[in-house]
Structure 1
Amino acid sequence: MTVAAAQPRTTPDDLTDETVSAYRRDGFVHLPGVISRTDAARYAAAASAARETIGDHHDGAIFTQLLQLWRHDETLRELTLNPDLAAIATRLAGVPLRLWHDQLLIKEPRNGAATEFHQDQPYWPHTGSRHALSAWVALVDVPVDRGCMTFIPGSQRLNGLRAQDLSDHGDMFAVAPELQWEQRVTVPLRAGDCTIHNSHLAHCATPNFTDDPRIAHVVIYVDADLRLAAEPAHPVTDPLGLTTGETLPDDHFPRFTA
């Protein structure tokens, strides 16, 4: 009789100094089992239900993007506000954090479209931010052929770039041609695993070549003390009537305590 190996888990208590150092050097880290496979399946079911009631923000072939799940769905709110995940992110960032927003990123079966290399930060109207990072939690198994992510280690050191076109294979390299020659690391994930990446890190995802959807829940953490910039426009802040130069309001962007 063969006994299945227990799934590795990652908690704030067993996050090592070596892992923190690797994140700060490379701009990303793979964390196995930040949630259990049982919870991943529960959240995946909630994600599938949410897509029937929440409009697709991206509305394109690359992926389905559902925003602000924590304000619409009690089950997914648990994951977005998960204190262990927030504690891990805070340790990696080294500064107090608040929620920017969450999102479901779903690649349809055999969608045929890659998410091309890009940075996240240029899409956000932030100023004075010391650090921002995204926790990309796999709610289903994400092998290489289902749309897992590839990172360019160390590319988080590039800042001040314009936003890149997620549908254009060459756009990231048009603004940062030196990245064409850098090492790339592809990270397949089991359901419940997570990658956390710096907001300036160049990353991409392959098309989904399988017959099942790729479902990822992303929690974006930002410097709790950043201030709102005048641009770019953003669907999370634009409807709120906020004042440029002010800190984000806690009721829409809750702080996480260490």
Structure 2
Amino acid sequence: MTVAAEDPRTTPGDLSDDVVSAYRRDGFVHLPGVISRTDAARFAEAALAARDTVRDHHDGAIFTQLLQLWRHDETLRELTLNPDLAAIATRLAGIPLRLWHDQLLIKEPRNGAATEFHQDQPYWPHAGSRHALSAWVALVDVPVDRGCMTFIPGSQHLDGLRPQDLSDHGDMFTVAPELQWERRVTVPLRAGDCTFHNSRLAHSATPNFTDDPRIAHVVIYADADLTLAAEPAHPVTDPLGLAVGRPLPDEHFPRFAEQ
């Protein structure tokens, strides 16, 4: 009798020094099976339900962007606050972390729009941040033609750039023309797989050419000790009336246990 092999899984205990070194060198790492395929399907169902009840924060065809799911949905809260994900992120970053925010990024079927190369950090009002990174968890299979991610390894050294236009293919290369000639790595994911990427790493995603939605749940981890900057404006912090120059409040941006 042939016994089917289990899907590969990654836990905090599996994270080798080589993987941590690769992340810090390249700015990203692909980890298989950070959640099970069964859990991925359960979270995908909750994500599609949330699409009908949570405000879309993105105006355009690139993707549907739903923020702060951990405050809206008990099932997705479980994923956002997953202690194994947080432990992996903390090991990769090497500093104490807190939640910045989570988001669902859904590329609708045959959306026809790429997410062009950009960094995440310029969109966030963070001061004194030593490190921030995102866990991009695939809740469905994401082959190349469904909107998977492409990274430019090592580009996380670029600091102080303005926000880039996600709909403009050339904008990233206007502010950092040297990146046009750098190697690119495209990473298809199975449901339950995850990539972690540095907030300053240049990355993009292909359009969704398939008949099914691409569903990714992103957990963004930030330096636990950063303070709020005066700009840019941000939909997560702006409604809270927070004081510039102060640490983020734990009740809105929970800290994760140090490993």
Measured against the shorter chain, the TM-score band is over 0.9
User: For residues 87 and 207 of structure 1, what CA distance do their matches in structure 2 show?
Assistant: 31
Residue 154 of structure 2 aligns with which residue?
154
SS of structure 2 residue aligned to 1:25? helix
TM-score, structure 2 as length reference:
0.99
Identity of aligned residues (%): 88
Give yes or no for the alignment of 1:16 onto 2:29: no
Structure 1: which 5+ residue stretches go unaligned? none
User: For residues 4 and 228 of structure 1, what CA distance do their matches in structure 2 show?
Assistant: 50
- Shift of residue 93 of structure 1? 0.1
1:112-168 CA-partner distances (Å, limit 9, x unpaired): 000000000000000000000000000000000000000000000001000000000
1:170-217 CA-partner distances (Å, limit 9, x unpaired): 000000000000000000000000000000000000000000000000
- Shift of residue 55 of structure 1? 1.0
Residue 68 of structure 2 aligns with which residue?
68
Residue 42 of structure 2 aligns with which residue?
42
- Shift of residue 2 of structure 1? 5.0
SS of structure 2 residue aligned to 1:159? coil
User: For residues 220 and 4 of structure 1, what CA distance do their matches in structure 2 show?
Assistant: 35
- Shift of residue 27 of structure 1? 0.1
Q: Name the aligned partner's letter for residue 15 of structure 1.
A: L
Residue 107 of structure 1 aligns with which residue?
107
Q: Name the aligned partner's letter for residue 105 of structure 1.
A: L
SS of structure 2 residue aligned to 1:255? coil
How many corresponding residue pairs?
Answer: 258
Q: Write out aligned runs for 1:180-219 (5 A).
A: 180-219=180-219
1:5-29 CA-partner distances (Å, limit 9, x unpaired): 2111000001000000000000000
1:210-252 CA-partner distances (Å, limit 9, x unpaired): 0000000000000000000000000000000000000000000
User: For residues 155 and 58 of structure 1, what CA distance do their matches in structure 2 show?
Assistant: 25
User: For residues 102 and 5 of structure 1, what CA distance do their matches in structure 2 show?
Assistant: 32
1:24-44 CA-partner distances (Å, limit 9, x unpaired): 000000000000000000000
User: For residues 21 and 175 of structure 2, what CA distance do their matches in structure 1 show?
Assistant: 28
CA-atom RMSD in angstroms: 0.7
User: For residues 107 and 208 of structure 2, what CA distance do their matches in structure 1 show?
Assistant: 6
Residue 220 of structure 2 aligns with which residue?
220
Give yes or no for the alignment of 1:77 onto 2:71: no
User: For residues 218 and 104 of structure 1, what CA distance do their matches in structure 2 show?
Assistant: 6
User: For residues 4 and 211 of structure 2, what CA distance do their matches in structure 1 show?
Assistant: 26
Q: Name the aligned partner's letter for residue 188 of structure 1.
A: P
Residue 257 of structure 2 aligns with which residue?
257
Give yes or no for the alignment of 1:163 onto 2:168: no
User: For residues 3 and 189 of structure 1, what CA distance do their matches in structure 2 show?
Assistant: 24
Which of structure 1's runs of 4+ aligned residues deviate more than 6 A? none
Structure 2: which 5+ residue stretches go unaligned? none
Distance 1:5 1:134, change over 3 A: same
Q: Name the aligned partner's letter for residue 152 of structure 1.
A: I
Q: Name the aligned partner's letter for residue 222 of structure 2.
A: V
